Structure 1
Amino acid sequence: MFTGIIEEKGEVVAVEAAGGGARMSVRGPVVTSDARHGDSIAVNGVCLTVVDVRGDVFTVDVMKESLDRSSLGALSEGGAVNLERAVRADQRLGGHIVQGHVDGTAALLSREPGDNWDDLRFGLPASLSRYVAEKGSIAVDGISLTVTTVDDGSFGVSLIPTTLKLTTLGERQVGDLVNLEVDVIAKYVERLVGAR
């Protein structure tokens, strides 16, 4: 489990195709400081398992399913990614419950810079719109954000200077694809209510 509080921006140092999936190596001095084989690290919001650590670079295998459901397949050497280690049970949950199980992708539709923050609007796939609520939580490329506005086809968020500086959302341009993970609690409530 993750919190959506990004620990650092990492850099993709290698991507190799591997049997329909990929093997990816990422530089991240903070997340590799205590990383071991088998640990979970979220890369742009996708929970991946560490298979090797060498210095400040960790390597992960990315299944075809993850490539198909996320924007990871578009990453190449030199690309910036958001990184977060799995939360320990004795840590604060600073964002919201993030599983690292991406529900879909969406394009950045608009970006309005402000004096102290930027307002961003993203597309919202119809299959996910029922899980997104104004003032609710959503993970965008692994970042825990509060939804400011929502309609059937899009949602908005406001980014403070820290988020703009320390995550990849500060660099995203209109048309760029991002990973979305809706609030897991909303999905479970729907499932339980639907079963009645």
Structure 2
Amino acid sequence: MALITVFIVVYISLFYFGISIYGDYADYIIFSLAYLYVCMSVVILVKKANVVLKVLGIIGAITMSINFLVGLIGIIMFIVISQDYEADKVYKFNNNNKHYSCRRYTFGFATLDDTRYTFETYRQFKYLPLEIKIDKTDFFANESDLDFTDAKFSVAIKSVDDHRELIFRSSDGGKSTKMID
């Protein structure tokens, strides 16, 4: 039990600082299993004879119940919300022998006026299944010069003096740069 708790705490801490396993699904699976572990721990705490542990278990059970009720309401919006959690396009590129991956998440719905494009850029390592999040950039289709539906849309990193620039470019000449160092 203690080893699982340490793993969960370390993994969530690393994720908070932008370090995770390649791709999104590994994170989703680990977070789901961590939540299951917490729920099982709460049930075990409620059954303990120690008063302090029992009170902690009851507080946890109340929190789980509230989360369940919020989840029931949220299930109605699941289709709209979940589209923002799966990348619809992945751009891979290199700079100075470093490997990068940029995931595009598109959030738009029939009743929305605009589509939001979120780009999350990660540095990946050749021999480790880890990635470090180095940037998150949001664009709105109506407010940007970029053509996000362009088949030749590209993302790159360019080293300039003592910093790096993240470059988003579409083939119609639209370009946006952002300093990341």
Same fold per superposition (TM over 0.5): no
Could you say which TM-score interval applies, normalised by the shorter chain?
Answer: under 0.3
TM score, norm. by length of structure 1: 0.26
Q: Choose between structure 1 and 2: higher helix proportion.
A: 2
Q: Choose between structure 1 and 2: higher strand proportion.
A: 1
**Per chain length, whose mean CA-contact separation is higher, i.e. which structure has more relative contact order (CA < 8 Å, sep 6+)?**
1
